[in-house]
Amino acid sequence: MAVPRQLTFAAMRILMVGAGGIGGYFGARLIDAGRDVTFLVRPRRAAQLAERGLVIDSPARGNTHIRNPKTVQADSLRETYDLVMLSCKAYDLDDAMTSLAPAVGPTTAILPLLNGMAHVDALVARFGDERVLGGHCFIASTLADNGDIRHLNANHTLVFGDRHRAETGRIAAIEAQLTNAGFDARRSDDIVQEMWEKWVFIATGAGLTSLMRGSVGEIEAAGGAPLAKALLDDCAAIARDAGHPPSDASYEKSLKTVTAPGSTLTASMFRDIERGGRTEGEHILGDLLRRAKHELPPASLLRAAYTHVATYEVRRG
């Protein structure tokens, strides 16, 4: 594998693709920590940020207000960046890749924070295997109508690593930028395994709360814990077939989370349905289902959850 020339910058130039609930949150924290961040945004979001600034409302982790965040739009993007962080929705990936392409130079590293694995295949095909890192995040946040970002709980973790477990100077340089930056950042030595474990968890939570149209606690109170476990088992079996079985610790943590009594947890997919928006059902549930190497029963919970969300998309389309 060819690795780009080592990054040795004391301070990287970071391009954050998107300034929504994920990109806006982590980007604001990075700016507060003195990092050089520019947001690649669409005209409407650029106008919103110019008028209001970038506002983070986080009761658990503290508020912040970046009054004049640096922004750039696709038609005026000319410079290359050291690190491109990708925080768009999966259904916007094709447009995002076209928009960010001018920012990718000989030493640029691309760090996607999307769920699933299909985006990695697309990014590698477009920009080359050596440029694409692995990453994921744990955060519950949403974009209010006025453009402010609401942080819904205390979680704000970002995990990153080289997909081939290579020890390179660029990973160390990125680690220096992302750690001690106002959120929990961690370098992983087996990021692909962690991405699969996150996918199993997020597909279970998204499928469960979208299918049942309620929070984890409400579903548990209605007697739905066995269904939550059945859905988790469907997802874990596919990961096992792919060579990335969830660890015992990861499985038990996921099971505890999706069956917790009184939990107010809902997936962003369910919240998208509630507001009548587009979902990532095809990318999180559908792609996982297509990767199954054993035939799931016609009435499997994963198949039911995917069909439920797909039917919703047919109706809204």
Question: What is the tens place of the pLDDT at every residue in 213-237?
Answer: 999 999 999 999 999 999 999 999 9
Q: What is the mean pLDDT of the chain?
A: 94
Per-residue 3-state assignment (H helix, E strand, C coil) for 107-160: EEEEEECCCCCHHHHHHHHHHCHHHECEEEEEEEEEECCCCCEEEEEEEEEEEE
Q: Is the pLDDT of residue 4 over 90?
A: no
Q: 188 with 161: CB under 8 angstroms?
A: yes
Delimit the CATH 1.10.1040.10 region(s) of the chain: 194-316
Q: What is the mean pLDDT of residues 21-45?
A: 97
Mean pLDDT of 44-54: 96
By annotation, the residues acting in catalysis are 198
Alpha-carbon distance of 215 to 152, in angstroms, equals: 14
Report pLDDT for 1: 38
Surface-to-core class of residue 164, CB atoms within 10 Å of its CB (0-12 exposed, 13-18 middle, 19+ buried): middle
CATH 3.40.50.720 domain range(s) in the chain: 13-189
Arithmetic mean of pLDDT, 14-25: 96
pLDDT value of residue 10: 55
For domain 13-189, which CATH number applies: 3.40.120.10, 3.40.50.720, 2.40.50.100, 3.20.20.70?
A: 3.40.50.720
Identify the pLDDT of residue 8.
Answer: 43
- Among 185, 191, 167, 171, smallest CA distance to 12 is for 171
**Residues 87-127 pLDDT 10s:** 999 999 999 999 999 999 999 999 999 999 999 999 999 99
The per-residue pLDDT for range 118-160, each reduced to its tens digit, is: 999 999 999 999 999 999 999 989 899 999 999 999 999 999 9
pLDDT tens digits, one per residue of 258-314: 999 999 999 999 999 999 999 999 999 999 999 998 878 878 999 999 999 999 999
E strands within 116-271?
A: 134-143, 149-161, 184-187
Please report the DSSP string for 72-99 in residue order. E-GGG--S-EEEEEE---GGGHHHHHHH
Domain 194-316 superfamily per CATH: N-(1-d-carboxylethyl)-l-norvaline Dehydrogenase; domain 2 (1.10.1040.10)
**Which residues, including other chains, have CB under 8 Å from residue 14's CB and lie 6 or more apart?**
27, 30, 35, 36, 37, 38, 81, 82, 83, 84, 85, 177
Alpha carbon distance 268, 280 (integer Å): 9
